[in-house]
Amino acid sequence: MKKILFLLIPLAIVIVVLIFYYTSRSQKVENTQVTSQQEAETKFVSGQEPLFKRSKLENVVSNESIAKWGFGLAGNSLIYVDPYFSIIRRNLASGQEEEIYKSVTQVSSVRIVSNGKSCIVQMYAKEQMQSFFLGEDSIKQLSNTITGWAISGLTGHLVDEEKQTLALDNTGAVEKKLKREYLTSRSKEMTCQTVDYDAEALSGKIECGGNTKGFSTSVNALDGIYNNDQVALVTYTKDAGGHAILYDKNGTELLRLSKIETSSVLTTSEGFYVLSKPVDFESDKNSENGVAFVTNSGEIKTILDSDADGSYSFDSIGLTEGYLFLREGPMVFKIKALQ
């Protein structure tokens, strides 16, 4: 009996180890499998009757520095940096403004990003970055170890340090630390990152993964990654024009977009707001565009469009309090959101 046990126990251990190995290996393959499939249909975000016309736009604010640096949204507050590099908070209900920070040094560049719930303002001066986190009625300066421009997403914001990326929640606290990559996008249940992406050669891979499902795909001339819990929108430049591919979380192509502004995508849990652009970035009509909503299933809803209603030249999009905010030069307009 002892001899039998002596033989069975090691055998059982080997079987358990083998089961664990192959289970782990199969999960890893599922998370990193490169997609190889037929391309989805390519569509344009304009060309159909828009839901609204310019008369429905409401002017919210106008300031010359908004044309240069943009704006952010945090609840019922609109944030911008004035020509003197002061951070201004504008109450969207009352229209009242207050200066909440005044720079004491000459600033060479500004970046403002937001997800509607909170906002990050960054000022670059004298080879040093200053980053500020803003809630609806609060402001705090972030660590001076931040070296890169911030990115906003559904769950908060991503800021780069020298060797890692910090995921900040909507209170400004560090929620997670990620390996630093060329581009990262994150929702509650899925994270997308470039892998070994060569910014000079414009080539590499994107990996998107959640709990057990995920995919990876090769990319070239990458401009941006945007994702929610269900899908990922990857934008890129080809033939001097802006394009995008919508993937589900298994890596299946749902839709291809053409003639879009690749750097001004706004992510929601139900899909993405995108700006249209002429196919040729050098076109004389490049200032004309429109805005549309692309659902998680790949349906396109045109909201405003130059082809159907005068001329638009939107630069960026924001969403808060049930309204869509659109920057056009020094002005910010609002219109009722689709969701």
Residues 30-88: tens digit of each pLDDT = 444 544 568 999 988 877 789 999 999 999 999 999 999 999 999 999 999 999 999 99
pLDDT of res. 212: 62
In angstroms, rounded to a whole number, what is the distance separating the alpha carbons of residues 218 and 208? Answer: 12
In a domain, 287, yes or no: no
In a domain, 92, yes or no: yes
pLDDT more than 90, % of the chain: 71
Q: pLDDT category, 120, cuts 50, 70, 90?
A: very high
pLDDT of res. 138: 96
42-46, 61-65, 129-133, 254-258: least confident range: 42-46
pLDDT more than 70, % of the chain: 86
In a domain, 324, yes or no: yes
In a domain, 19, yes or no: no
Q: Which two tokens stand for residue 80?
A: 């911008």
pLDDT of res. 199: 87
Sheet arrangement for strand 323-328: 58-62, 331-336, 323-328, 316-320
In a domain, 122, yes or no: yes
In a domain, 337, yes or no: yes
Q: By CB neighbour count within 10 A (0-12 exposed, 13-18 middle, 19+ buried), where does 166 fall?
A: buried
pTM: 0.87
Mean pLDDT, range 214-231, rounded to an integer? 95
Q: Residue 243: pLDDT above 60?
A: yes
Q: How many beta carbons lie within 10 A of that of residue 283, not counting itself? A: 13
Q: Residue 130: pLDDT above 50?
A: yes
Query: Distances in Å between the alpha carbon of 93 and those of 121, 139, 197, 280?
Result: 22, 19, 44, 40
| Cα 163 from chain centroid (whole Å) | 21
How many domains in the chain? 1
pLDDT of res. 11: 47
Please name the residues in contact with 78: beta carbons below 8 A apart, sequence gap of 6 or more: 60, 61, 71, 72, 89, 90, 92, 325, 332
Q: Residue 28: pLDDT above 50?
A: no
Q: pLDDT category, 124, cuts 50, 70, 90?
A: very high
98-102, 104-108, 275-279: least confident range: 275-279
Q: Which two tokens stand for residue 106?
A: 């000459």
Q: Residue 260: pLDDT above 50?
A: yes
57-61, 149-153, 211-215, 287-291: least confident range: 211-215
In a domain, 61, yes or no: yes
Phi, psi dihedral angles at 10 (to 5 degrees): -60, -35
Q: pLDDT category, 306, cuts 50, 70, 90?
A: confident
pLDDT of res. 173: 95
Q: Which two tokens stand for residue 143?
A: 């660590």
Q: Residue 23: pLDDT above 90?
A: no
The secondary structure element, H or E, covering residue 27 is helix 2-32
Domain containing 100 equals: 54-180+309-339
Please name the residues in contact with 239: beta carbons below 8 A apart, sequence gap of 6 or more: 279
Mean pLDDT estimate for the chain: 87
In a domain, 172, yes or no: yes
